[in-house]
Amino acid sequence: MTLTEQLIELIENKRIEDEDVEAASWFMLDAMANIAAGRNSEQGRILTRWFLEVPADSSRKVLWLGSLMHILEMDDLHRNSVVHPGCVVIPAVLAVGLREGVSGRKMLEATLKGFEVCTRIGNSVGPAHYKIWHNTSTCGPFGAAYAAGTLLGLNSSELSDALGNAGTQSSGLWEFVESGSMSKHLHAGRAGQSGLIAAELARHGFSGSPTILEGTRGFYAACCPDASPEELLANPDDRWQLHQTSIKPWPCCRHTHPAIDAATELSGQLAGKNPDTIELGVTQAAIDVCNNPNPESVYEAKFSLQHCVSVALLNGKVVFESFESEARKLTAGLNNKVSIRCDEKIEQNYPEAWGVDLRVKMKDGKVIKVHRDHAKGDPDAPLTAKEMREKAVMLFSHGGMKEPEKWVERILGLPQEPSFSESDIYRLLNITVETAEL
């Protein structure tokens, strides 16, 4: 059997319990709240203008929804694979599920399977892949294809075709970081769109490579110099990978979150005084992606360990406004006091754990230390149901939604809801059905 066939067999043999479906409903809530909030941004307005230019088919909807979801940097993240599964899987589930009138429970079951596929593939790509390739964009199409294929009723052979054609569309390079361009959002939307197209073509008999992963000219050979194919099928009886996925409490790169978590705790001990020096021990991946002492834009600030730690120390919290120009002016002096190093012990535990050592020295010589093995929102330090609801309400409100609490209850009721309608999504995003040209 090919790796693709073995992966399909593993997933189809996994049991889905009620608790798994309930967990998926929380991720659906987080996704839809992020989508709604993402519209209220420069990138979101550009994407929405593009979306509304012509009558929208399903694939355009997936690109639009996935891109919106990934803009504010508050969407979910699977630590081990370094994949944001929600922004590629859930838009595909929404597009197909709403179009086909699928039940809420079936949509959530497809979400579980889509998360499983893209994160297991992400687990197997090896650390060198992440230095060049954006794992969400390269591994995401597989998850979107599987979730959409599940809702379309594809058999095992058709699912293999869908995954083959999803894999050959894998792309997404980290070069956007150098200029702070908007490409990262496109990565998410395009990955979901590619997966949906692959699944729809498979339903019509369009074949895809059965050895797309392990073939001599396949995914691993092309993009993964230190791939670990054995991780793809490891621990088949573990809980669904969705349970190992983190929910973000702060609107910035996840690599900054352990440091923010530590800094917000330490903030109250500073008594309004600025530290003399700040030392951060983090992973090499955090340094590679988020070492920027002089961020010049909102997006660069979201990928700056120095700024994120400084603003958390100064304000005791991190919110949307924490990355605007006034906040960047506030932290400019403190940023230059932050030194960053790769901590050997923390590095050894990555990516299973994303930790930090924060050491602050005051002008009087006093040293304050805070350590985190995990960041708030990780499966090891999860947000409470109350915190999840508050986050969703905050995001819906940021997106201009009226009565956001009602949307929270409606989405959490998906396991019992017979279905959502397409018009519900447009109401959620403050777009009329007529404008969207359904």
Is cis: bond before 351, omega within 30 of 0? yes
**Contact assessment for residue 336 and residue 309, using Cβ atoms and an 8 Å cutoff:** no
Q: What is the DSSP string of 216-253?
A: TTSHHHHH-TT--GGGGGS-TTSPPGGGGEE--SSSS-
Among 380, 360, 379, 362, smallest CA distance to 370 is for 360
CATH architecture of 254-372: 2-Layer Sandwich (3.30)
Q: Do domains 3-249+381-436 and 254-372 have the same CATH topology?
A: no
pLDDT in tens, 218-234: 999 999 999 999 999 99
Segment 12-19 mean pLDDT: 97
Residue 54: pLDDT above 60? yes
Mean pLDDT of the chain: 93
pLDDT in tens, 61-113: 999 999 999 999 999 999 999 999 999 999 999 999 988 889 999 999 999 99
pLDDT recorded at residue 419: 61
**Contact assessment for residue 298 and residue 42, using Cβ atoms and an 8 Å cutoff:** no
Q: Which residue has the tokens 């406004």?
A: 321
Return the domain boundaries, the chain. Answer: 3-249+381-436, 254-372
The letter for the amino acid at 300 is: E
**Tokens standing for residue 86:** 């929600």
Encode 363-398: b = buried (16+ Cβ within 10 Å), e = exposed.
eeeeeeebebebbbbbeeebbeeeebbebbbbbbbb
Helix axes 183-203, 58-69, angle to 10 degrees: 150
Segment 18-39 mean pLDDT: 96
Give the HSE-up count for residue 337: Cα atoms under 13 Å, Cβ half-sphere.
Answer: 19
H or E, element range at 428: helix 422-428
Q: Which residue has the tokens 């083959």?
A: 164
Quote the CA–CA distance of 248 and 76 in Å, as a whole number. 6
Q: How confident is the model at residue 428 (pLDDT cuts 50, 70, 90)?
A: low
Q: 3-class SS at 176?
A: helix
CATH of span 3-249+381-436? 1.10.4100.10
Q: Which residue has the tokens 């889905």?
A: 16
pLDDT in tens, 365-397: 899 999 999 989 999 999 999 999 999 999 999
Among 3, 225, 196, smallest CA distance to 97 is for 196
Global pTM reads: 0.91
Helix axes 183-203, 156-167, angle to 10 degrees: 150
Show the CA angle centred on residue 322, arms to residues 321 and 325, nearest 5°: 80
Segment 211-219 mean pLDDT: 98
Quote the CA–CA distance of 149 and 93 in Å, as a whole number. 9
Residue 182: pLDDT above 90? yes
Q: 3-class SS at 195?
A: helix
**Contact assessment for residue 214 and residue 95, using Cβ atoms and an 8 Å cutoff:** no
pLDDT recorded at residue 433: 39
Quote the CA–CA distance of 433 and 269 in Å, as a whole number. 52
pLDDT recorded at residue 418: 64
Beta bridge partners, 246, equal 77
Residue 425: pLDDT above 80? no
Give, as one character, the DSSP assignment of residue 17.
-
E-strand ranges in 222-376 read 245-246, 277-282, 338-342, 356-361, 367-372
Beta bridge partners, 173, equal 133
**Contact assessment for residue 399 and residue 36, using Cβ atoms and an 8 Å cutoff:** yes
pLDDT recorded at residue 430: 63
**Contact assessment for residue 374 and residue 355, using Cβ atoms and an 8 Å cutoff:** yes
At 356, phi and psi to the nearest 5? -160, 150
> Which carries the bigger pLDDT value, residue 56 or residue 265?
265
Quote the CA–CA distance of 378 and 376 in Å, as a whole number. 6
**Contact assessment for residue 419 and residue 104, using Cβ atoms and an 8 Å cutoff:** yes
